[in-house]
C-alpha cells in the first residue's frame, strides 16, 4: 500500500525527517509513535500529499506521489491534527461538500452522507453548524470527512488529542471498526492508544525511524528475547517445581520464572530467543497439563518506548 | 470541472449566509445612492444632459465596485489558510485552477449581484432623461469587467499569504499603482505615457464604458488583466500546495 524510499524533508536548513524508508502492506492499522517534534506530522503530511518531500520517493497504491498526486488524493482520506471544518456549514452540508470534492457523484453523495453519519454517530447533529459542536463531535466529523469517499488509505494525525476519556474510548472503537475496511495510519504520542488500536508500530525520534514492527517484535528485537506468559492447570500429581523444571528442559527456553500459583493453576514467565509458543503448548498438553494462557509481550509499549529513546540518546 | 462547480456552490452559499456579504452589499448600495444624489444629480443638475448624469453614476459606482471587489477577494484563500481548511482542498483531488476559478466566479457573481442592485438609478435617468438601454448595458459591462479585474488582483494577493491584512495591503497596493498609471501617463513623455495609459486600470479603459461606448480594446484589456492575475494566483497556489 505504501512504499517510502530514502525520504527526507527539510524546512530551510533544518532537517525535519529522514532519511526514512519503509513499506506498509494493505490492511490493518499502523501506529506512528514519537515525542512531540519527532516528525510524525511531517511524515503523515507527506503521505497525505499536503507536503512534498525534499528527497526520496513515495508510492501509494502503486502510484508515485510526486508524479501523480491527483490520482493519489482520490485514494486517501486525511484527518489533520485540527479537523478542517468550515464553521459556517452544517454537518450534513459539510460532508456533502467534502464528498463532492472527493469525487462522489451527486446521486450517490446524499446516501453516502447518511451512511457515514450513522457510522460515526453524527445523525443527531446533521443540521448543527460545525462551530457549535463539542470537540469530540468535531473529531468525529473530521473522521467522517476522511472516510466519506471510501479511501483505501486513511491517515489520522493525533485523532484523540484533546478528547475526554469517554470520547477516547468511543473514537478508539471507531478506529477498530474502520480497520476492517481501510488501511489506517495513526499518529500519537499516547502510547496506550497506539498499543490498543494498531497492529504495527513505527517509532520515530528526531525525524528518524528507530524501530518498527509489532509491539512484541520490537520487544524481542530490543532485548533479543521473547517473553512469554504461560498459564497452566497442572496435572493432579504434579508439583509446581516439577512443571517449572519440565518447561526449563524444553528446547529454546532460556529461563523460567514462577509469577503466580493458585492451587493447581500456575503462571510462568518464560524467556526464549524464538517465538516457541507452538512447541511449548504441544509439549504441555502432551504431558497431561491444561493450557489456560499463552501470550507474548510482557514488555509494555511504554517501557519499550522509553528504552528505545534511551538507547538512541546513549 | 466537478471541483470548480462544488467550490463555486460552497462560496456562493457562504456569501448568502454570512453577515459580511450583506453588510458589504448594504454599504455599497447606501454609498452609491448617496453619491448618485450628491454627485450625479448634484446641485447643478439642470446644466447636465442625462448622458453626463449617467457617466458620473458609472464613475462613482466604479470606485465602489473596486473597493467592494478588494474587500471581498482578499479573504478568499488567506481565510482558508487561517481556518485550516486549505488542507482539505490540498489533499482532495481538485486542481489548483478549479479552486482559484471557483472562488473567483462566486465572488464575481456576488459583486455583479450588488452592482446590478443599483440598476434603479440609471432607470430613473431613462424615465426622466434621454439615455438608451444600450448605454446602460455597456456601462454595467464595464463595471463587471473592472470588478473582475480587481477581484483577480485580490485573489492573487490572497494566494500569497495567510494574513488577510497583508493580502489587503498587497491587493490595494497593486490596484492603487494600476490606477495611478493613468494620471502618471498625463505627465510623462511618450512612449512611456502610452505604455502607462495602456496599462491603467481606470481612465482610458473605463472612460469608454462610462460614456456608453464599447471598445473591444477595453474589453480585451480587462479580460487580459483578469486572466493574468488568476494565472499568477493559480501558480502561487500550486507552488504553496506542496511547499
What gap in Å lies between CA B189 and CA B184, rounded to an integer? Answer: 10
Among residues 92-151 of chain A, which lie with CB inside 8 Å of chain B? Answer: 93, 97-98, 100-103, 145
3-state secondary structure of B155: helix
Residue B190: is its pLDDT beyond 90?
no
Asked whether the beta carbons of A204 and A174 are under 8 A apart, the reply is no
Q: What is the mean pLDDT of residues B50-54?
A: 83
Write the pLDDT tens digit of every residue in A170-210: 888 888 888 888 899 999 877 777 878 888 889 888 888 88
Contact A85/B at CB under 8 A: yes
Percent of chain A with pLDDT over 90: 42
What gap in Å lies between CA A172 and CA B16, rounded to an integer? Answer: 38
Asked whether the beta carbons of B148 and B62 are under 8 A apart, the reply is no
Asked whether the beta carbons of A19 and A7 are under 8 A apart, the reply is yes
Contact B6 A78 (CB under 8 A): no
Contact A87 B83 (CB under 8 A): yes
**What percent of the residues of chain B are helix, what percent strand, and what percent coil, each to the nearest 5?**
80, 0, 20
Write the pLDDT tens digit of every residue in B142-183: 999 999 999 999 999 999 998 989 999 999 999 999 999 988
Q: Which residue has the higher pLDDT, A302 or B132?
A: B132
* Cβ-based contacts of B94 with chain A (< 8 Å): 101
Give the pTM.
Answer: 0.81
Of B85, B86, B242, nearest to A52 by CB-CB distance is: B242
Place of cell 456601462: B139
Contact B20/A at CB under 8 A: no
Write the pLDDT tens digit of every residue in A210-234: 888 877 777 666 666 777 889 999 8
Place of cell 511524515: A43
What gap in Å lies between CA B12 and CA A97, rounded to an integer? Answer: 13
Across chain B, what does the average pLDDT equal? Answer: 90
Contact B85/A at CB under 8 A: yes
Every domain of chain B and the residues it spans: 2-241
* Cβ-based contacts of B18 with chain A (< 8 Å): 88
pLDDT of res. B47: 66
Cell of A44: 503523515
DSSP category for residue A123: G
Within 10 angstroms of residue B142's Cβ, the number of other Cβ atoms is 27
Contact B93 A98 (CB under 8 A): no
Percent of chain A with pLDDT over 70: 92
3-state secondary structure of A181: coil
pLDDT of res. A309: 66
Cell of B218: 477595453
Q: What is the mean pLDDT of residues B14-43?
A: 86
Asked whether the beta carbons of A178 and A278 are under 8 A apart, the reply is no
Contact B50/A at CB under 8 A: no
Question: What is the residue-wise DSSP string for A236-272?
Answer: TT--HHHHHHHHHTSTT--EEEEEEEETTEEEEEEEE
What gap in Å lies between CA A83 and CA B124, rounded to an integer? Answer: 51
Asked whether the beta carbons of A142 and A79 are under 8 A apart, the reply is yes
User: What ipTM describes this predicted complex?
Assistant: 0.85
Domains of chain A in start order, with CATH, are: 2-219 (3.40.50.300), 225-298 (3.30.70.1340)
Rg (chain B; Cα; Å): 19
Write the pLDDT tens digit of every residue in A15-60: 899 799 999 999 889 999 888 788 999 999 999 999 999 999 999 9
Residue B43: is its pLDDT beyond 80?
no
Q: Give the number of A-B residue pairs with CB atoms closer than 8 Å.
A: 62
Interface test with A, best of B4, B12, B92 (most A CBs within 10 A): B92
pLDDT of res. B153: 97
Amino acid at each position: 500500500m505504501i512504499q517510502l524510499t530514502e525520504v527526507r524533508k527539510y524546512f530551510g536548513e533544518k532537517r525535519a525527517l529522514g532519511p526514512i524508508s519503509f513499506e506498509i502492506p494493505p490492511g490493518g492499522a499502523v501506529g506512528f509513535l514519537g515525542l512531540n517534534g519527532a516528525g510524525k506530522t511531517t511524515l503523515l503530511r507527506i503521505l497525505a500529499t499536503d507536503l512534498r518531500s525534499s528527497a526520496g520517493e513515495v508510492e501509494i497504491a502503486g502510484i508515485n506521489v510526486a508524479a501523480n498526486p491527483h490520482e493519489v488524493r482520490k485514494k486517501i482520506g486525511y484527518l489533520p491534527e485540527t479537523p478542517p471544518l468550515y464553521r459556517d456549514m452544517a454537518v450534513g452540508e459539510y460532508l456533502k461538500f467534502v464528498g463532492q470534492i472527493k469525487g462522489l457523484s451527486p446521486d450517490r453523495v446524499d446516501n453516502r452522507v447518511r451512511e457515514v453519519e450513522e457510522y460515526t454517530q453524527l445523525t443527531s447533529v446533521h443540521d448543527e453548524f460545525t462551530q457549535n459542536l463539542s470537540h469530540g463531535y468535531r473529531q468525529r466529523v473530521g473522521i467522517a470527512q476522511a472516510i466519506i469517499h471510501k479511501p483505501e488509505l486513511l491517515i489520522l494525525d493525533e485523532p484523540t488529542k484533546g478528547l475526554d476519556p469517554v470520547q477516547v474510548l468511543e473514537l478508539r472503537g471507531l478506529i477498530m471498526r474502520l480497520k476492517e475496511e481501510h488501511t489506517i495510519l495513526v499518529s500519537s504520542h499516547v502510547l496506550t492508544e497506539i498499543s490498543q488500536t494498531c497492529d504495527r508500530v513505527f517509532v520515530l525520534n528526531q525525524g528518524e525511524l528507530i524501530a518498527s514492527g509489532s509491539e512484541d517484535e520490537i520487544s524481542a528485537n530490543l532485548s533479543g528475547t521473547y517473553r512469554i506468559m504461560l498459564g497452566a492447570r497442572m496435572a493432579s500429581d504434579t508439583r509446581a517445581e516439577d512443571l517449572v523444571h519440565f518447561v526449563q528442559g524444553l528446547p529454546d527456553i532460556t529461563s523460567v520464572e514462577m509469577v503466580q500459583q493458585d492451587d493447581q493453576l500456575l503462571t510462568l514467565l518464560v524467556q526464549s530467543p524464538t517465538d516457541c509458543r507452538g512447541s511449548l503448548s504441544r509439549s504441555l498438553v502432551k504431558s497431561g497439563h491444561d493450557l489456560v494462557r499463552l501470550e507474548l509481550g510482557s514488555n509494555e509499549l511504554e517501557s519499550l518506548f522509553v528504552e528505545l529513546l534511551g538507547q538512541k540518546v546513549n | 470541472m466537478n471541483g470548480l462547480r462544488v467550490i463555486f456552490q460552497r462560496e456562493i452559499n457562504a456569501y448568502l449566509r454570512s453577515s459580511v456579504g450583506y453588510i458589504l452589499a448594504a454599504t455599497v448600495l447606501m454609498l452609491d445612492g448617496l453619491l448618485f444624489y450628491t454627485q450625479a444629480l448634484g446641485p447643478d443638475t439642470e446644466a447636465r444632459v442625462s448622458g453626463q448624469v449617467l457617466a458620473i453614476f458609472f464613475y462613482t459606482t466604479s470606485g465602489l465596485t473596486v473597493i467592494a471587489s478588494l474587500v471581498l477577494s482578499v479573504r478568499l484563500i488567506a481565510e482558508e489558510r487561517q481556518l485550516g481548511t486549505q488542507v482539505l482542498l490540498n489533499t482532495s483531488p481538485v486542481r489548483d485552477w478549479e479552486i482559484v476559478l471557483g472562488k473567483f466566479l462566486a465572488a464575481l457573481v456576488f459583486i455583479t449581484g450588488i452592482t446590478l442592485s443599483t440598476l434603479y438609478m440609471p432607470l430613473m435617468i431613462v424615465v426622466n432623461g434621454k439615455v438608451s438601454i444600450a448605454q446602460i448595458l455597456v456601462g454595467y459591462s464595464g463595471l463587471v469587467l473592472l470588478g473582475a479585474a480587481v477581484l483577480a488582483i485580490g485573489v492573487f494577493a490572497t494566494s500569497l499569504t495567510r494574513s488577510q491584512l497583508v493580502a489587503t495591503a498587497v491587493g490595494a497596493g497593486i490596484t492603487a499603482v494600476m490606477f495611478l498609471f493613468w494620471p502618471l501617463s498625463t505627465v510623462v513623455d511618450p512612449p512611456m505615457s502610452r505604455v502607462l495609459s495602456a496599462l491603467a486600470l481606470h481612465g482610458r479603459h473605463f472612460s469608454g464604458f462610462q460614456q456608453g461606448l464599447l471598445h473591444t480594446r477595453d474589453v480585451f484589456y480587462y479580460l487580459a488583466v483578469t486572466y493574468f492575475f488568476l494565472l499568477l494566483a493559480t501558480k502561487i497556489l500550486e507552488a504553496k500546495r506542496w511547499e
